[in-house]
Amino acid sequence: MWQVLGKDTTLVRMGKDWKERMLELAGEGRRREILERLFDIAELTNFYNTELDVHAFIFQLPEDTPAEELQAYTNTVREVRAVTDQPMVSFRGQPQRFKLVITAEKEPELIGKDKTEGYSSGAIYQAVYDLGADDRKPIF
């Protein structure tokens, strides 16, 4: 019922099957080497948002990944995706919406014991609060 790049799969295996299928499509050579390096160093998160009906494939790279390397990964994924006419994800033969994210940026932790310094309890919004903190009187 589910397919990823033309390969039968399940929601649970979709991320793994997507990587396998991308390597098959890449063939041998430079594109395959770049994909293998991406798959080795990046953490892949794959999920299906049932509320928005969107599949997400998110590759989180280390923060110190050079911009040129990030661009090479992105270009290679786009090149390999263009090799096939198969939809990225389909269900019962119907193409599904998806998002593919390749990033080296780290989201700040807003809550919890590992909060990012300066982002606790509203500090992230302080600039917005300060905009309304002048001495002007309301107009009504």
CATH of residue 96's domain is 3.30.300
List the one residue out of 72, 50, 48, 49 whose CA is nearest residue 61.
72
> What is the edge-to-edge ordering of all strands in the sheet holding 54-60?
43-49, 54-60, 97-103
Query: Is there a domain that residue 139 lies in?
Result: no
How many domains does one find in the chain?
A: 1
Q: How far apart are CA 115 and CA 14, in angstroms?
A: 31
pLDDT tens per residue across all 140 residues of the chain: 899 999 999 999 999 999 999 999 999 999 999 999 999 999 999 999 999 999 999 999 999 999 999 999 999 999 999 999 999 999 999 999 999 999 998 766 666 666 666 555 555 556 655 655 555 555 44
Q: Strand 7-9 vs strand 2-4: parallel, antiparallel, or unpaired?
A: antiparallel
67-81 and 30-41 are packed helices; what angle lies between their axes, rounded to 10 degrees? 120
pTM over 0.85: no
- Domain range for 69 is 2-106
